[in-house]
């Protein structure tokens, strides 16, 4: 997949987004956010593949650093489905969940079934103050079901 350079208006919005989170705007940070706009739930490797097209000097290590900084600043959400590498997305703060295909690893967003975090009440929270419940629906996507 190759993307053309982002239009200026979009870049401006991304710059504001980075500044708003208290971070310095850098080309790699812009490129990572732009890549994840087009490819939500991408792994670091996938993001790197895309960023490299725009910024040929970038290393995978640098992309990992950018992903960590943007995640810590709340601009990205990191999800870690069992048995798969970590994925990143720009949709943050809405407590949504994920459908993961066991056939092809595709990941789709699912709105929270109940509403606010934590959307599930533990039968026994053992004294914890629960802030978040992460729900993963595993199954076969429509394409894989057709292929089967
Ligand atoms: Zn599938
Ligand atoms: Zn998502
Ligand atoms: Zn939920």
CA of 142 to the centre of ligand 1 (A): 7
Neighbouring residues of the ion ligand 3, judged by CB less than 5 Å: 112, 119
pLDDT digits (tens, 9 = 90+) for 3-47: 566 678 888 999 999 999 999 999 999 999 999 999 999 999 999
Which numbered ligand comes closest to the C-alpha of 77? 2
pLDDT band for 119, please (50, 70, 90 cuts): confident
Q: Is the pLDDT higher at 93 or at 113? A: 93
Q: Is the pLDDT higher at 146 or at 8? A: 146
Which numbered ligand comes closest to the C-alpha of 109? 2
Assess whether 14 and 69 both reside in one domain: yes
CATH number at residue 114: 3.30.1490.190
Residue 61's pLDDT is 97
Assess whether 16 and 75 both reside in one domain: yes
CA of 13 to the centre of ligand 3 (A): 29
117 has pLDDT over 70: yes
Residue 69 lies in a domain: yes
Assess whether 13 and 70 both reside in one domain: yes
Question: In the numeric block, which tokens belong to residue 109?
Answer: 């967003």
Give the Å distances, CA to CA, from 67 to 26, 73, 76, 95, 97: 13, 10, 8, 20, 20
pLDDT band for 133, please (50, 70, 90 cuts): confident
Neighbouring residues of the ion ligand 1, judged by CB less than 5 Å: 101, 103-104, 141, 144
Domain carrying residue 125: 94-147
Residue 73 lies in a domain: yes
Assess whether 54 and 104 both reside in one domain: no
pLDDT digits (tens, 9 = 90+) for 54-112: 999 999 999 999 999 999 999 999 999 888 899 999 999 888 999 999 999 999 999 98
């Amino acid at each position: 997949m190759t993307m053309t350079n982002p239009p200026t208006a979009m870049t401006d919005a991304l710059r504001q987004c980075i500044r708003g989170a208290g971070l310095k705007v850098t080309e790699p940070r812009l490129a990572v956010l732009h890549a994840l706009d087009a490819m939500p739930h991408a792994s670091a490797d996938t993001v790197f593949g895309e960023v490299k097209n725009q910024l040929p000097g970038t290393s995978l290590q640098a992309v990992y650093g950018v992903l960590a900084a943007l995640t810590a600043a709340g601009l990205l959400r990191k999800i870690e489905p069992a048995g798969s590498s970590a994925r990143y997305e720009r949709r943050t703060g809405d407590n949504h969940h994920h459908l993961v295909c066991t056939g092809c690893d595709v990941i789709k967003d699912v709105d929270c079934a109940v509403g606010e975090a934590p959307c599930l009440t533990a039968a026994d929270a053992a004294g914890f103050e629960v802030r978040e419940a992460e729900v993963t629906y595993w199954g076969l996507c429509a394409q894989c079901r057709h292929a089967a």
